């Protein structure tokens, strides 16, 4: 392929009426062929550049879509973490409240059991006193009914009879 420098430096032999026609014609043919080759190559390169630019744009759009998807995924993950944290905090708070309620119920049950025990103890104590009093009366009555005097009275009752007049 001919260079720009060769074109500038090309010397034609002088003929009777000017330059040698065949040499000039040959040079122009060579120049035209090189120019055609360059033009064709330039056209192919332009097409290739367009194709590559089209693909590059396609990849840029894919990259943008992927970046947007990644950002959306990160945002969704953050939202999920935030919601999970809030839900966990809510569950924890509800659990604490429920535990406090249960402990208060247990305290109330223990308090009532204590009162019931005290009342039951007082009632049993009262019943025991009454039982002891009854036991003393039974012992008094037993001693009375099993006494010697009562035996004599019963024996004398047999001897008693109604007299007819």
Give me the residue spans of the domains in the chain.
4-159
What element of type H or E holds 31? helix 21-145
Q: Quick one: pLDDT band at residue 50, thresholds 50, 70, 90?
A: very high
Q: Which residues pair with 61 in a beta bridge?
A: none
> Environment class of residue 23 by beta-carbon count within 10 Å: exposed (0-12), middle (13-18) or buried (19+)?
middle
The model's pLDDT over 51-75, given as tens digits with 9 standing for 90+, comes to 999 999 999 999 999 999 999 999 9
pLDDT digits (tens, 9 = 90+) for 79-90: 999 999 999 999
Prediction pTM value = 0.43
Structure tokens at 64: 């943008």
User: How far is CA 101 from each of CA 88, 106, 108, rounded to the nearest angstrom?
Assistant: 20, 9, 11
């Amino acid at each position: 392929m001919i260079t720009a420098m060769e074109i500038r430096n090309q010397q034609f032999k002088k003929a009777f009426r000017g330059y040698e026609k065949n040499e000039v014609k040959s040079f122009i043919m060579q120049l035209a062929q090189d120019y055609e080759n360059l033009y064709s190559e330039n056209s192919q390169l332009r097409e290739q550049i367009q194709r590559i630019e089209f693909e590059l744009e396609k990849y840029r759009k894919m990259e943008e879509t992927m970046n947007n998807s990644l950002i959306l995924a990160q945002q969704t993950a953050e939202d999920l973490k935030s919601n999970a944290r809030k839900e966990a905090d809510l569950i924890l708070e509800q659990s604490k409240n429920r535990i406090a309620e249960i402990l208060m119920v247990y305290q109330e049950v223990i308090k009532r059991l204590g009162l019931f025990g005290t009342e039951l103890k007082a009632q049993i104590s009262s019943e025991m006193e009454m039982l002891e009093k009854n036991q003393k009366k039974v012992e008094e009555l037993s001693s009375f009914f099993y006494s010697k005097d009562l035996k004599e009275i019963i024996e004398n009752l047999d001897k008693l009879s109604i007299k007819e007049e």
